[in-house]
Structure 1
Amino acid sequence: MLSTNIKTLKYFFKLTNRISKTYILKSILASVFKAWTPFLNIIIPKLIIDELLGGKSIKRLIIYVVVLTIGNLLLKIINNHFIRIMELARIDLFNKMDSYLGEKCVDMDFENIENPEVLDLKERAFFSIYNLDAIGRTLENASIIIYETITLLGLGYILAILNPIIIAVVLFIVFVNSFIFKKIEKIRFEDNQKAIFDNRAFGYFLRMTSDFSMGKDIRLYKVAPLILKKSKYFTDNLLHIYSRQFTAIGKYSGISNINMQIQMIFIYAYLAMGVIKETIGIGSFTMYANAVKNFSTSIMSLVNSIIEINQMCMYLELFIKFDSIESKNSRGSISTSNIKDFEIEFKNISFKYPNKKEYTLKNISIVIKTGEKLSVVGLNGAGKTTFIKLISRLYEPTEGSILLGGVDIKEYTYEEYMKLLAIVFQDFKLLSFSIRDNLSNKICEGRDDEEIIISCLDKVGFGDDLAKLNNGIDTNIYKNFDEKGIEFSGGQAQKIAIARALYKDSPIVILDEPTSALDPISEYEVYNSFNNLVKGKTAIYISHRLSSTRFSDRIAVFKDGEIIEYGNHYDLIKNEDSLYANMYNTQATYYVT
């Protein structure tokens, strides 16, 4: 276990130093300074008392008092300065750590984001870092270990002059109490692990109550009492866990305090006997008493910090496991700048999701020529969205390869490859920023053309809605950062998402059921307009409703992960027994009705 903890701490401190180059150095300097602060109030009072009882020199008394007063003032000022420095350094470190973890989550392979085991590890790691403050407590205890070790060396020297037995008594009590503190930390760790599920569940209810999008459903279906009942169940569980924890900790802490008082009684009795026998002066009695008290406090603090760091290592291991998850997907090295032919070819592609036995796609082979419009249709669960996830490199095929311009797509530089794709997924998300920022993403794309933004919005049928907004394209979406932000309808949000894809101006455009919130007429108009807008580009449309198929050059009909029909609309509709004809005619009947 010791070797594991050493490896954990080594990894952690290396990471800390990489994220913040100066934090550890500042912490060491602050700790070294703090270590010497007790000695002024241990040694100088002894000299003052000895002078009062012995030499009675006014001059020396004044010097001692001035040294004690000014010394304490300077120590206080310098110590407060270090506290401010470390507080700012801590805030800076935690901000950078947040950014680091954010980048880790963003850069993680998409398959890990959908992997329950990884999600559970992430939950446990984040609970350790944010709820239990494992990073902050580890750094704080490391600092305590540094300055308490230095303090103990100085105090140990003073007490050794008196009698080494004093040190032995203190160490014995510390040894006994260390088992008590270890037991306390074990109780905390076990109870915190038990509380993870209840904390996670209660967190869901907290997020639910602050999610404005759920407000209508909560009111219409009167589920507030149900939410409160279920959340109370988890809060009661947490209350039970922590009540039991605090009771146990209180019992063990009481035993520890009794041990400490027994220790102090023995030491004060020993010092008092020395004064009575005149082997120790009154000044020395004061110095040794203060030294023993500080020594006992420091060594208990040191032991507690070591025990707590060992405990924090258990939590940090979860964080390190999460941080150590490496990308399996190839990032590629070939530039896309020389691609002239954007033909996409699926060669014998089969795919199954991680930890799944069944294949979602089976032996898919299809060619999408440059500038061709392909509609992918099929019933729910046919594999249509998975087909798009493979093109967009969110997953890599289990078998086979996907070629772009004759080169396997995973060989292309990932960042450059993603610029070739403009995708609108069915579960797209708009950011709580302005409409302008949602479309232009100036930081990454490097361009912000207001006229093109407005033109793209107009082309997808959002022009009339835009004209009604006081701030135009600078209107904020949602109210997270702006009380005047707009909560757009599902149809309006989809139009903005499609306009975002248009603005990106990529050679390959993919729409994965992005018009599901639109009525059939609006959907037809969007597809008709969009089809004209992407002339010369390769376009892939996925939809339950078949509005896109008549605009497409080719149609691929998916069923159970396989392409069972392929051709254009007129060829496929001729076969009345085909799945495509059945789907198309059924929908046409609904529209006519």
Structure 2
Amino acid sequence: MNSILRGIKLVFILDKKRFIINYGIFVLEALSSVVAIYALQLTLEKLGLFVAGNLTTRAMIFCMCIFMLVKILIYAFKSFMNFYCEYYNLILDREAENVLQEKKFLPIFYEDSKFLDLLSQAKNGASDLSYITNAYLDVVFMYGFNFLFLAIYLFYLSPYFILILVVVMLLQFLHNKLDKGIEEKLEESLKNIRRKREYFENLFLEKESVKEIKAVNTSDYFLDRFNIVLDKFCAISEIFYKKLLLNDVRMGLLKIICYTISYLIVYAVRDSVSIAEFGVVFVTMKSIFSISEEGFYGRIKEVNSLLPQLDALFKVLDMKCEKNTDFGDEIIFENVSFKYPNANEYALKNISFKINPNEKIGIVGVNGSGKSTISKLILGLYEQNSGNVKTVKSSSVFQDFAKYELSSIENVKISDCEKEVDKSKFKEIDYIDESELDYNKILSKRFSDISLSQGQWQKLAILRGIHKNEKFFVFDEPTWAIDPIVEKKIFNFLYNEIQTGMIVITHNLSSVKQMDKIMLVDKGEVLAFDTHSNLIQNNELYKKLWTTSTT
């Protein structure tokens, strides 16, 4: 219930004006139902007078016209209400998803499978926020007020009719409580399996994975894995759906008892109501059961299974997402250790070093030595487990860069939208010749006819990194997809273009030979931090890496 209240509060904050209008309309809609029933009662009373000869044909026609006008106005009002509610929900969904997207989590969070499960649930919770909160608010503002107005109307006819409402309310409360418990256990059991199912589904939909699956003929393997996950998903769902079915059967039996009690009450007070009132009572009873089934039971039942997703949304929104990064003019690591979530071993072990302003540094080592982890800490993307990190505001280019389906200019400009893109730099790093490419055309087979090689995408990532003019630049394997001839040209371009500090992480030691210093990392420790010439003379591991890299 706490998540529901927080959800309603968030919905109100997102758009106060539309919130008040929307649920004010719901109250009017509830009142319109009672007006329609009362209009029916008056019409039936007039009809009784007409049949008895106590009302003229003209008066009866006038009454029927008034009744039809009331029905038309109510229908028009409900049509408007449905349109406005759909529009309101559209606005809310957009705003709710924006709230979640504004959370800027450190990339280290995405290394934790438990966080990914929670985030997946939270995304669903954000997209369903309006649907979930509307269900509960509908119960209060539309079904609740409708129920209240009908209760007042029935009490006016006979106080005994209130017993019908009491029986219905108790019945629905019991049923909803049982259903909610079953739905919560179902969601808890399925959240991890659902993410696995989505993963295997996407393998057969994404361009890159489809190409590889076809090329190496692994479709049967992944289909088998997908079917295993799907069978497990269905098996767990079946267990809980049987429990829900049993609860529905129980509900059906209780409903028969409830109808029986209602008819006995009506029969007991038959002498104290008119024929018109007697007919209207049965119409009202039908409305009460409809409100109970569609509103108090149906609407709440629809969202019971989504409540864990709403809980996840607020857990994510409550999480601390940014660390307090200490920015200065130099990079200092003091006894820094770092371990990835759920890992047994430390990726970095008590390392210390200092990089001065405008220094150009290379970081080298074998795979898994901790090079990229150091870069993530320097950029403030990860947070150390122990020790102190002081760093500078930096721009970066990663090995696993993003391919944005935008134009060439936009791919570069997004790192600093206020700054104009220098097109001459495209030519300096051998990007596609201007005569062969419209720089403003979208780079995507999905939206245009242009498809870039991995190397060309990497050049765009480099241009995007240097377009953002910071005090320091970090390049993590910036040329791994580029041939050696162009690679040398790009590194010369970077040395000449960047006048501030720079860090380059690479396996190609010849690319960092001219750096001010080179850091040698192995098994999470800094083994050496010196010039190329000194390392060649004094460090056997570096000498071995150099020989292997340049042979």
TM over 0.5: yes
Which residue is equivalent to 2:85? 86
- Structure 2: tracts of 5 or more residues without a match: none
Q: How far is the alpha carbon of 1:91 from its aligned partner?
A: 0.2
Q: Map 1:132-143 to 2 at 5 A.
A: 133=128, 135-143=130-138
Sort the Cα spacing of 1:400 and 1:274 in 2 relative to 1 into closer, same or farther, 3 A: closer
Which residue is equivalent to 1:370? 357
Q: How far is the alpha carbon of 1:260 from its aligned partner?
A: 3.2
Q: How far is the alpha carbon of 1:268 from its aligned partner?
A: 4.2
Following the alignment from structure 2 to structure 1, what is the Cα–Cα distance between the partners of residues 63 and 306? 44
Tell me the SS of whatever aligns to 2:464: helix
**Which range moves more in the overlay, 158-167 or 70-79?**
158-167
From 402, 406, 417, the equivalent of 1:445 is 417
Following the alignment from structure 1 to structure 2, what is the Cα–Cα distance between the partners of residues 224 and 366? 48
Which residue is equivalent to 2:123? 126
Give a deviation string over 1:319-356, Cα, whole Å, max 9, x none.
21111102351166x8x8xxxxx443434444344555
Q: Does 1:484 align with 2:449?
A: yes
Which residue is equivalent to 2:482? 518
Sort the Cα spacing of 1:509 and 1:62 in 2 relative to 1 into closer, same or farther, 3 A: same
Q: How far is the alpha carbon of 1:171 from its aligned partner?
A: 2.4
Q: Map 1:109-124 to 2 at 5 A.
A: 109-124=106-121
Q: Does 1:427 align with 2:400?
A: yes
Q: Does 1:325 align with 2:319?
A: yes
Which residue is equivalent to 1:298? 291
Q: How far is the alpha carbon of 1:47 from its aligned partner?
A: 2.3
Following the alignment from structure 2 to structure 1, what is the Cα–Cα distance between the partners of residues 479 and 512? 14
Task: Report the residue type matching 1:115 in the other structure.
Answer: D
Give a deviation string over 1:48-102, Cα, whole Å, max 9, x none.
2322333324454234212211111111112211211111111011011122212
**Which range moves more in the overlay, 69-78 or 285-294?**
285-294
TM (normalized to structure 1)?
0.84
Tell me the SS of whatever aligns to 1:461: coil
Q: How far is the alpha carbon of 1:470 from its aligned partner?
A: 3.6
Tell me the SS of whatever aligns to 1:380: coil
Tell whether the 8 Å contact from 1:528 to 1:551 is kept in structure 2 after alignment: no
Tell me the SS of whatever aligns to 1:210: coil
Following the alignment from structure 2 to structure 1, what is the Cα–Cα distance between the partners of residues 546 and 303? 65
Q: Does 1:466 align with 2:433?
A: yes
Give a deviation string over 1:262-299, Cα, whole Å, max 9, x none.
44455446546765xx5432212112222222233334
Q: Does 1:37 align with 2:24?
A: no
Which residue is equivalent to 1:50? 45
Tell whether the 8 Å contact from 1:8 to 1:317 is kept in structure 2 after alignment: yes
Sort the Cα spacing of 1:313 and 1:199 in 2 relative to 1 into closer, same or farther, 3 A: closer
Which residue is equivalent to 1:502? 466
Which residue is equivalent to 1:339? none
Q: Map 1:87-236 to 2 at 5 A.
A: 87-104=86-103, 107-130=104-127, 133=128, 135-236=130-231
Give a deviation string over 1:446-493, Cα, whole Å, max 9, x none.
0223xx1x222222222xx2346342x22322334x13231x222222
Q: Map 1:3-14 to 2 at 5 A.
A: 5=1, 7-14=2-9
Tell me the SS of whatever aligns to 2:445: coil
Following the alignment from structure 1 to structure 2, what is the Cα–Cα distance between the partners of residues 177 and 363? 61
Q: How far is the alpha carbon of 1:397 from its aligned partner?
A: 3.7
Tell whether the 8 Å contact from 2:325 to 2:380 is kept in structure 1 after alignment: no
Q: Aligned residues, how many?
A: 546
Following the alignment from structure 2 to structure 1, what is the Cα–Cα distance between the partners of residues 139 and 517? 70
Following the alignment from structure 1 to structure 2, what is the Cα–Cα distance between the partners of residues 331 and 431? 28
TM (normalized to structure 2)?
0.90
Sort the Cα spacing of 1:115 and 1:201 in 2 relative to 1 into closer, same or farther, 3 A: closer
Following the alignment from structure 1 to structure 2, what is the Cα–Cα distance between the partners of residues 123 and 297? 35
Sort the Cα spacing of 1:48 and 1:519 in 2 relative to 1 into closer, same or farther, 3 A: closer
Which residue is equivalent to 2:512? 549
Tell whether the 8 Å contact from 2:111 to 2:340 is kept in structure 1 after alignment: no
Tell me the SS of whatever aligns to 1:557: strand
Sort the Cα spacing of 1:562 and 1:279 in 2 relative to 1 into closer, same or farther, 3 A: closer
Q: How far is the alpha carbon of 1:204 from its aligned partner?
A: 0.7
